[in-house]
Structure 1
Amino acid sequence: MLFVLAVLYTVYGAGMRMTAFEMTAMRDMRDMPGPLIPGVWSVAYATLVFLMWWVMMIAMMLPSVAPTVLLNAALLRHTGDADRVPAISAAFASGYLLTWAGFSLVATAMQWALEAAGLVSATMMTLIEKWPGALVLIAAGVFQFTPMKAACLEHCRTPAKFLTEQRRTGTQGAFLMGAEHGTYCLGCCWFLMALLFVGGIMNLIWIAGIAIFVAVEKLTPFGDTISKIAGAGLILWGALIFVNLV
């Protein structure tokens, strides 16, 4: 139910000036003028942007973390907490999602700063010029080959090891486990989420594409290989953009 609500909120852009459908349809209009002065945000608008990011992260990340939550629930049914499975599972998910709330707060601040600097469109929420996008693509591709990416991806691909070796009891323990798991997941995926600035923060094609890639990378037997192939592809894509600009 939470996933469905998050998807609907993201698609219909509750509180934003346009829905994600409209933003996706106009994705090539990177610097379309709008009613707001770039970088001049009210507290209410900043809150809406933060909610947009956080709910979007919930919609994108719940499918890939769902197997871990379900596995944890299955393990709990064989312990003394069997009668508290729903509450403990909710605590685990809450800790996980709180981690992404932290990321969303940083992403909101980054969006405001880039918009104020004239790099991100206030209307279309995407990088206006192509060269910054090329840099992000190359950097995201390089990140796919880093030890940090490898370590975090290994953690995300072996949830059973984490749930057995780092088990904590009760709802508070589950919350801390969820937050820890979310931190590894964030370490694995944060640069991929930065790609939304390239394609458009509310571009449904990019949102769905990144979410599917994250799930494939984490949940399939060949996820590590896919990660490296994607890294090489991102570097090549960014380089080709630079070649076309010079």
Structure 2
Amino acid sequence: MAPTLQRYIILALLIAIAAAAWSLLIWEQMGMDADMRMEMYALTMGMKAPLFLAVWMIMMIAMMFPTAAPMILTFHQVQAGKQGRGETFVSSWVFVAGYMLVWGVMGVIAFAGAAGAEMLAGRVGLSTATAARIGGALLMIGGAYQLSPLKDLCLAKCRTPIGFILTSWRDGYWGAVRMGLEHGLFCLGCCWLLFLALFPLGIMNVAAMAVVTLLIFAEKTLPSGGGIAKVSGIALLLYGAAVLVFPQALPTFQPVGAITMN
């Protein structure tokens, strides 16, 4: 099979898998009744660890496959060249497996943090206004990170697939897994506080997920990606500050009663 055709097939599969994940998330949200929507605002969405992690991975597939596509296709292009020279060929999906492992571990950490925060909030009887203001502070932290040198460093690695390949190439299957892990860590360095911002906005808030996905894609692929990251950082700082003053500005704000999280 011609390398160009292989690239098109891989790209089509990435788009199809991401589209299926988005469809599943939208279908799940549309099928929620009022009680389920209230649970959606909880940090763990009212889910036990296995279900939370399953939903988390679907979210990561939906959000990260489109943004990781240029790197995956570049990896395949190099592997196709090696195959043409009679060298060992490693499937791009081995690289993807290493990449997704990073997001799986992040999901475990996210659940542990969310469950711990819910338990603490329940014990101290945290008011909804205070919880919203904590969410506003998280948004501001995310905005500040968007303006940080570490964000710039990680984003530079994600914006230049060829540069990453030249500096981080490893041969063989385990080499591909290691490359996937390394690229996943750089990607995590770019995006982790944007994902943290989803918790105060609603972890299953499809609109917020779509905005974050478009933002990450723009940062990584557009010529003005670095500037877009800065503008988004300022926007998060301003929005977080507004939530500190007006907690009702947060979509997950619940106006009646204290937060009770199970």
- TM-score when normalising by structure 2: 0.76
Give the drift of 1:150: 1.0
Q: CA deviation at 1:127?
A: 9.5
Unaligned ranges ≥5, structure 2: 1-15, 123-127, 248-262
Flag the 1:33–1:11 CA change in 2: closer, same or farther, 3 A.
closer
Does the CA-based 8 Å contact 1:50-1:104 persist in structure 2? yes
**Which position in structure 2 is the counterpart of 1:64?**
67
Gaps of 5+ in 1: 13-18, 120-125
Choose the corresponding residue for 1:176, options 178, 181, 196. 178
The structure 2 residue matched to 1:149, chosen from 138, 148, 151, is 151
Q: For 2:233, give the aligned amino acid.
A: G
Q: How does 1:55-204 map to 2 (within 5 A)?
A: 55-80=58-83, 87-118=90-121, 129-204=131-206
Give the corresponding residue for 2:52: 49
Q: 2 CA distance for matches of 1:31 and 1:10?
A: 13
1:129 positional shift:
3.2
CA contact (8 A) 1:95 1:177 kept: yes
1:77-101 alpha-carbon deviations (Å, 9 max, x no partner): 222477765x520110100000100
Q: Report deviation, 1:118.
A: 2.9
Counterpart check, 1:20 vs 2:22: no
For the pair 1:4 / 2:19, whether they are aligned, the reply is yes
Tell whether the 8 Å contact from 1:53 to 1:107 is kept in structure 2 after alignment: no
Determine if contact 1:144/1:227 at 8 Å carries over to the other structure.
yes
Q: CA RMSD in A?
A: 3.0
Alpha-carbon distance between aligned partners in 2 of 1:30 and 1:233, rounded to the nearest angstrom: 30
Which deviates the most, 162-171 or 181-190?
A: 162-171
What is the number of equivalent residue pairs in this alignment? 224
User: Which has the larger helix fraction?
Assistant: 2
- Partner Cα distance (2:52, 2:140) in 1: 26
Distance between the aligned counterparts of 1:220 and 1:68, measured in 2?
Answer: 14
> Aligned partners of 1:190 and 1:88: how far apart in 2?
27
Q: Contact conserved, 1:95 with 1:176, CA < 8 A, in 2?
A: yes
Once the two structures are TM-superposed, the CA of residue 5 in structure 1 deviates from its matched residue by 3.6
Change (3 A) 1:52 1:127: farther
- CA deviations on 1:25-63 (whole Å, 9 max, x unpaired) are 96xx999479xx998x88xx2110111112211211010
Amino acid paired to 2:143: G
Considering only CA atoms, is the larger Rg found in Structure 1 or Structure 2? 2
Contact 1:7 1:59 in 2 (8 A): yes
1:113-150 Cα shifts (integer Å, max 9, x gaps): 1222237xxxxxx9983201110111000011112111
Post-superposition offset of 1:9: 3.6
1:206 equivalent among 208, 214, 220:
208
Change (3 A) 1:141 1:38: closer
Aligned counterparts of 2:36 and 2:26: Cα–Cα separation in 1: 19
- Greater displacement, 201-210 / 127-136: 127-136
- Amino acid of the residue matched to residue 2 of structure 1? I
Q: Is residue 43–residue 203 contact of structure 2 (8 Å, CA) maintained in 1?
A: no
Q: Secondary structure at the match of 1:201?
A: coil
